[in-house]
Structure 1
Amino acid sequence: MNPGFTAEQDGIRRTLRDLLHKRCGPDELRAALDTPRGHDPALWAALAEQLGLPGLALPETYGGVGCPVTDLALAAEETGRALAPSPLLATSVLAAPLILALGTDAQRAGLLPRISEGTLTAALAVPAPALATALALTGAQDGDWAGGGRAGGIQARRAEGAWRLYGEAAQVLDGHSAGTLVVAAHAGGFVRSRTLLFVVAGDAVGLVRTRQTALDATRPQARIQLRDVRAELLGDEETGVPQALAHAGDFAAAFLACEAVGAADRVLERTVEYLGRRQQFGRVIGSFQAVQHRLADVYVQLQAARSAAYYAAWAAGGHGAGSGPQAAVAPVGAVGPGGPGGPEGADDTGGRIGSGRRGERAGGLALAQALEALRRAAAEGIQLHGGIGFTWEHEAHLFFKRAAGDELLFGPVHRLRAHAAAGAGLFERTEVSV
């Protein structure tokens, strides 16, 4: 793999950083968090109009930019640096790829163009705390995480030719403000027990949405209650929902890893700036060797996490939403002679970022490394800022909460690593005959 970036990728990153620097400073960030939506609609509109960010990885057929999903993951590094509160993760990373992969032609045509232009936001709703399980990040998608016919979860029932949903889901990212919900529900009772995905309009009768208090205010969450809500099945009853969720989860992990790397880079940068100004005992703090060693350790861990995140994004690029409508179910779009969709294993791109090989899944492991790097960078930033760093009002706490909040939603780190190890067969028992 050639770790260099294309001119287009450099342009996206540069433009996005400039825009966020102007529109999402610390004051603007805190002001957006206090609004009912938890993000600035004007910033979201600017990201859509100037960069096409919501539809960056969606096909041009549906109004998207048509870039590979790798470009969206790399753009996440810049949104992570600013901790930009936006529905990008919920809409473009979790919900849109599922609609693209499983939806009917009518569903794609009705939803994806509006998502691409930024006028429609979406959210993936699964019963809490099963998001990591549903996305196959911390274990197999076994068990009745969607409901299982028991109390709790979300149940789907077919009545009079229409689907009705009952139950609730908590910790739904941007669920309180999303215009459309993609809801995972249990259907079929004990005879044909299975999990299906449904599309629910944000203004549906019987839908109650309440914003929840979250550790990380930059990722607004909601409790969704479905009281006999009419829903539309996403695709048909034979679609491969577990496979689609697993592929969406792998890309989401790569996206989150790149975001965490950007956040860690920013908090380290701010800490170094502060230590170069603050004086103690007649010297700037940054000149003390013990402080330099601590910063060096953070830097090394950050660079390792960046390498892992880039690799995960590169690998996910071989089977992401930008590769075709059914990419999340039957991976297509591996780059080879003749362009996208070429023979598997063939690569005429020189290994440049965005030409991932089909079948590689490195997102979970990269996310574990990136979250650890962010947590370490934020913790050191809080300590090295001294007394001011320990006040809740200091910016370093936002980064620390981002690391802790993402680990609660998509981790924990040790389970991400254990699942990756199990998938690689590292701990398989071998019988020795005597």
Structure 2
Amino acid sequence: MHAVEVDAIAVGATATEERREMRRTLRDLLARRAGPAGSRAAVATAEGYDAGLWTALAGTLGLPGLTLPERYGGAGCGLAELALACEEIGRTLTPSPFLATAVLAAPLIAALGSERQRAELLPRIAAGTLTCALVLPGGGVGVGGGSGGGFEAGIGAGGGLGVGGPLPFALGLTGDNTSLPWSGDGRSGGIQATRPDGTHWSLYGEAGHVLDGHSAGLLLVAAHTGGFPRGRTLLFLVWPKGEEASSGAPGLVRRREATLDLTRTQATVQLRGVPAELLGERDDGVGVPGVLEAVGRTVAVALAAEAVGAARGALDRTVEHVTTREQFGRPIGSFQAVKHRLAEVLVAIESARSLTGYAVAVADGKGEGGGGSGPWGGGPEGAVAAGLALAQALDAQRAAAAETVQLHGGIGVTWEHDAHLYFKRATADELLFGPASRLRARAAEWDGLAGGAR
């Protein structure tokens, strides 16, 4: 059995020579500097990633600024190029600040920041000298398991709504992010923003599972303000290492968490009267949920492409193993049952790749519904396509990881084997960005099938 190579993220878009060259360059760099062995070494560092590789990715390919406008030092590329980069990073499970910085934080700064903030921050992000983390509180609304308000799949004892994790909910992927005060209810929980002196903002609260939160040079914090009747969610800038003050941000504590997926670092962020700067110039919260939701579609496509890459990486390793491991005098990959199992995984991966490609096409205004404009285009069709692509990719990644463990036999069930890096990634992604069932339910709402379309 041989692995089938499909050059398709450009997924769904026409693969131009520039994109093919980008893929070749990125894959070659990651093959030399990353991979499971490199990932294990990188996560053991204080940053949780290979800082030298990050510098190379920024300098050689301009990856952090891939989709940022050229006037801010970016490459001005579209969603197809972003998906391509995410697929290659996922294939090797490369730990990097790319997701937290370039996919999550940078578009929010570009959309909501003042011109001064954009001019100061985006060029540094594009150059790779500034990393960011998006801090989203997970408490305050009683979703999931009771008094803490944790966001979990399913209905918790506290009357939770089963809307998934804080990230997909805030981005509108697993629920309507205007329906619940997810950043805090104005009385308790979440992160609260106040102006004690009437002028300067101060943040108080805590958030967990913050991607790259322990090492980021800038925190983009979602906080609730205005009390319960007039409550609203705003985004704030916090400099942990003293960009604005010589002693750093007083009252800020960041603690790296022990995680299931070693290749995706997370942190707990505590804020106790931390000074912060409002992102943008308006403090009425108008437009914030809509921008989060729009950015969420890009995030969903990027995550889907990354999951497709990870699933393909797991499949390729499994194919390599079954073609060399012999039983009864013949490679186990020659047995029909093994071929069928791997073929089913390949079908799942290619289905996820196709859906991701369709989501890219819709965002670019080339889907059946048309009407897109840039990476946030597509209207309701774009929301449906992005959610379904991510759901399918999470399922494919889980199936590939499971077969990787199973078909590696005894060595596959040992934590030390590389197969478990893919298994842990699949499991953790479902917890962080899913569940897939909730992503599909939300897509059905957008499509008008569940009575909840907006």
- TM-score, scaled to structure 2: 0.85
The answer on 1:120 being equivalent to 2:130 is yes
Contact in 2 for aligned 1:345/1:357 (Cα 8 Å): yes
Alpha-carbon distance, 1:73 to partner: 1.7
Q: Does 1:400 align with 2:446?
A: no
Contact 2:187 2:227 in 1 (8 A): no
Partner of 1:207: 252
Check conservation: 1:155, 1:186, Cα contact below 8 A. yes
Q: Distance in 1 between matches of 2:208 and 2:50?
A: 23
Q: Is the 8 A contact 1:70 1:316 kept in 2?
A: no
- Map 1:343-354 → 2, pairs under 5 A: 345=371
Verify the 8 A CA contact 2:250 2:274 in the aligned structure 1: yes
After TM superposition, give the deviation of residue 37 of structure 1 in Å. 1.4
How far the C-alpha of 1:365 sits from its partner, in A, is: 1.0
Decide whether aligned partners of structure 1 residues 119 and 263 sit closer, same or farther in structure 2, where only a CA change above 3 A counts: same
Does residue 1:143 correspond to 2:177, yes or no? no
> For the residues of structure 2 that align with 1:88 and 1:29, how far apart are their CA atoms?
15
Q: Which residue of 2 aligns with 1:327?
A: none
Counterpart residue type for residue 194 of structure 1: R
> How far 1:356 sits from its partner (Å)?
6.4
Structure 1 position 229 matched with structure 2 position 274: yes
For 1:79 and 1:56, how far apart are their aligned partners in 2?
14
Contact preservation (8 Å) 1:164, 1:229: yes
Letter in 2 for 1:410: F
1:241 to 2:279 alignment = no
Give yes or no for the alignment of 1:155 onto 2:178. no
Q: Structure 2 residue aligned with 1:389, among 398, 412, 428?
A: 412
State the partner residue of 1:331: none
Structure 1 residue 193 and structure 2 residue 211: aligned? no
Instruction: Assess, with a 3 A threshold, how the Cα gap between structure 1 residues 3 and 224 changes in structure 2: closer, same or farther.
Output: same
Structure 2 alignment gaps of length 5 or more: 1-10, 139-150, 152-165, 242-248
* Alignment correspondent of 1:167: 205
Q: How far apart are residue 6 of structure 1 and its match?
A: 1.7
Q: Is the 8 A contact 1:317 1:356 kept in 2?
A: yes
Instruction: Flag the 1:346–1:52 CA change in 2: closer, same or farther, 3 A.
Output: closer
Q: Secondary structure at the match of 1:131?
A: helix
For normalisation by structure 1, the TM-score amounts to: 0.89
Aligned partner of 1:300: which letter?
Answer: V
Please point out which of 273, 294, 306 is paired with 2:320: 273
One-letter identity of the residue aligned with 1:241 = V
Question: In structure 2, how many angstroms separate the alpha carbons of the residues matched to 1:190 and 1:26?
Answer: 48
Alpha-carbon separation, structure 2, partners of 1:174 and 1:355:
24
Question: CA distance change for structure 1 residues 312 and 295 in 2, over 3 Å: closer, same or farther?
Answer: same
Partner SS state of residue 324, structure 2: coil
Q: What letter matches 1:265 in structure 2?
A: R
**Distance in structure 1 (CA, Å) of the matches to 2:427 and 2:363:** 24
Match of residue 265, structure 2, among 200, 204, 220:
220
- Work out whether residues 371 and 377 of structure 2, in 8 Å CA contact, stay in contact via their aligned partners in 1: no
Measured after TM superposition, the shift of residue 428 of structure 1 is: 3.5
The answer on whether the counterparts of 2:298 and 2:375 sit within 8 Å (CA) in structure 1 is: no
Q: 1:363 aligns with which of 378, 386, 401?
A: 386
For residues 294-323 of structure 1, the C-alpha deviation after alignment (integer angstroms, 9 at most, x for no partner) is: 1111111111011011222333345xxxxx
1:125-182: CA deviation from partner (whole Å, max 9, x where unpaired): 0113422210111111121210112322100001221011000111000010000011
Residue by residue over 1:264-287, the C-alpha shift from the partner in whole angstroms, topping out at 9 and shown as x without a partner, is 111111111110111101111011
* Alignment-mate amino acid for residue 269 of structure 1: D
CA contact (8 A) 1:254 1:316 kept: no
1:151 aligned partner, one-letter code: S
Q: Is the partner of 1:123 in helix, strand or coil? A: strand
Matched, 1:132 2:168: yes
1:26-51, Cα deviation, whole Å (9 max, x unpaired) = 22110011112110100100000000
Contact 1:74-1:313 within 8 A present in 2 as well: no
Does residue 6 (structure 1) correspond to residue 16 (structure 2)? The answer is yes
| Counterpart residue number, 1:39 | 49
Mapped pair 1:67 → 2:88 = no
CA contact (8 A) 1:315 1:355 kept: no
What is aligned with 1:49?
59
Task: Provide the C-alpha distance between the structure 2 equivalents of 1:418 and 1:310, rounded to a whole number of angstroms.
Answer: 21
Matching residue within 416, 433, 444 for 1:421: 444
- Deviation digits for residues 346-384 of structure 1 (CA, Å, limit 9, x no counterpart): 99xxxxx98964552221110110011011011001100
- CA gap of 1:73–1:205, structure 2 versus 1, over 3 A, is same
CA distance, structure 2, for counterparts of residue 392 and residue 355 of structure 1: 40
Aligned to 2:360: 313
Aligned to 1:92: 102
Secondary structure of 1:276 counterpart: helix
Q: Are 1:114 and 1:120, in contact at CA under 8 Å, matched by a contact in 2?
A: yes
> Do the aligned partners of residues 190 and 156 (structure 1) sit closer, same or farther apart at CA in structure 2, a change above 3 Å counting?
same
Matches of 1:172 and 1:97, distance apart in 2: 17
CA RMSD between the two structures = 2.0
Q: Secondary structure at the match of 2:254?
A: strand
SS in 2 for 1:27: helix
Q: Secondary structure at the match of 2:195?
A: strand
Q: In the TM superposition, what is the alpha-carbon distance from 1:388 to its structure 2 partner?
A: 0.6
CA distance 1:191–1:357, change in 2 (3 Å):
closer
* Contact 2:13–2:80 under 8 Å retained in 1: no
Amino acid at match of 1:411: G
Q: Could you tell me how far 1:89 is from its partner in structure 2?
A: 0.3
- Counterpart residue identity of residue 226, structure 1: L
Q: Does residue 102 of the first structure (1) align with residue 112 of the second (2)?
A: yes
Q: Percent identity?
A: 59
Aligned to 1:182: 220
1:392 CA displacement: 0.6
Match of 2:145 in 1: none
Residue pair 1:138, 1:419 contacting (<8 A) in 2 also: yes
In 1, the alpha carbon distance for the partners of 2:196 and 2:437 equals: 43
- Secondary structure in 2 matching 1:155: strand
